[in-house]
Chain A
Amino acid sequence: AQSVAQPEDQVNVAEGNPLTVKCTYSVSGNPYLFWYVQYPNRGLQFLLKYITGDNLVKGSYGFEAEFNKSQTSFHLKKPSALVSDSALYFCAVSGFKSGNTPLVFGKGTRLSVIA
């Protein structure tokens, strides 16, 4: 079975500082990994996706994520946080061997960027 863990319910960071939102996963075989963002009263929006290739994936709004196979992690990062980055962030996984099995989402991490 596939699963995702986001160990932090809340991450606080000062504006201009780098941010990291953590995600670890469990899946059979190679993974598809995603990050989505949810702003208040909105649906989830795609940020970035990892399939294969470079371990550093660049996405929307200056976000990037680092895939680490040995640690089964896919942490979301941004070099300089903005107040407008404050939102709820979800990591999701599926596997190359999973067929039509839907994405499994983590519980979400609330990012608060303080001016």
Chain B
Amino acid sequence: NAGVTQTPKFRVLKTGQSMTLLCAQDMNHEYMYWYRQDPGMGLRLIHYSVGEGTTAKGEVPDGYNVSRLKKQNFLLGLESAAPSQTSVYFCAIGNHRDRKGYTFGSGTRLTVV
């Protein structure tokens, strides 16, 4: 997905470990989002940002922290991973007023054991 890069693509963590997921964009967009995708649950918003230095909570923010120190990067942190955080994480950029809405990254598949 051009313009939005997520790293890593896969990761296995042990319960209690920490990690940071990186979303990088080259489209100079103000708005960035972190969603998680779980079977039967669809996409649920974790946190989002409407500009450099800003963050806001979404539907399921507990257990996650985020930072937007630079406009092009949006970091999602798990301080102490739990098995319930096993999921596929998607970063997106854009606004619903944009012609095509959001542009999504290709996802990070995280397994917590």
* B is bound to A: yes
Which residues of A pack against B, CB within 8 Å?
6, 9, 32, 34, 36, 41-46, 49, 90, 92, 94, 98, 100, 102-108
Partner of B1, one of A43, A90, A100, A102: A43
Task: Give the distance to chain B from A11, nearest Cβ to Cβ, in Å.
Answer: 15
For the complex, what is the distance from the CA of A112 to the CA of B74, rounded to whole Å? 35
Task: Please name all residues of chain A whose beta carbon is closer than 8 Å to the beta carbon of B103 when the two chains form the complex.
Answer: 46
Query: Which residues, 37 to 87 on B, are CB-close (under 8 Å) to A?
Result: 40-43, 45, 48, 50, 58
Chain B: residues with Cβ within 8 Å of the partner, total of 27
As a 0/1 sequence over residues 81 to 113 of chain B, the CB contacts with chain A under 8 angstroms (1 = contact) are: 000000000101001110111111111000000
Task: Give the distance to chain A from B10, nearest Cβ to Cβ, in Å.
Answer: 10
Of A42, A94, A100, A106, most B-chain CB atoms within 10 Å = A100
* B43 with A43: CB separation less than 8 A: no
For the complex, what is the distance from the CA of A45 to the CA of B43, rounded to whole Å? 14
Known A43-B90, A43-B107, A100-B31: A90·B42 in contact at CB below 8 Å: yes
Task: Please name all residues of chain B whose beta carbon is closer than 8 Å to the beta carbon of A90 when the two chains form the complex.
Answer: 42-43
Task: Please name all residues of chain B whose beta carbon is closer than 8 Å to the beta carbon of A9 when the two chains form the complex.
Answer: 40
* B101 with A49: CB separation less than 8 A: yes
Task: Please name all residues of chain A whose beta carbon is closer than 8 Å to the beta carbon of B33 when the two chains form the complex.
Answer: 102
* B1 with A46: CB separation less than 8 A: no
Partner of A103, one of B41, B99, B102: B102
